Amino acid sequence: MFVEHTAEEVEKLKARYATTGAVLEAPKLIAAKAKSILWHYVSTVLPGGFKAQLSPRVVWRRFATARHS
């Protein structure tokens, strides 16, 4: 993607801008998602007698899954 840049320049760019993993594993974002998931479960799923499940689309990686728990 950055073939015109040296390896050092690419590393500087990576350090300057957020990566997908950093964004998706951000504690505040995870807390907001967990709050939203809990609200949805309590208001929609639980009254119907159903169970909850987190899918990979909701949680990016296992590490982030552990933070949700």
pLDDT tens-digit profile of 14-49? 888 877 777 777 888 888 888 998 899 899 888 888
pLDDT band for position 8 (50/70/90)?
A: very high
> Long-range contacts of range 41-49, CB-CB < 8 Å, 24 or more positions apart?
none
Nearest to 33 by CA among 45, 47, 20, 23: 23
pLDDT band for position 68 (50/70/90)?
A: low
Q: According to the model, what pLDDT value does residue 51 have? A: 80
Residue 68 · residue 54 · CB < 8 Å = yes
d(CA 34, CA 69): 8
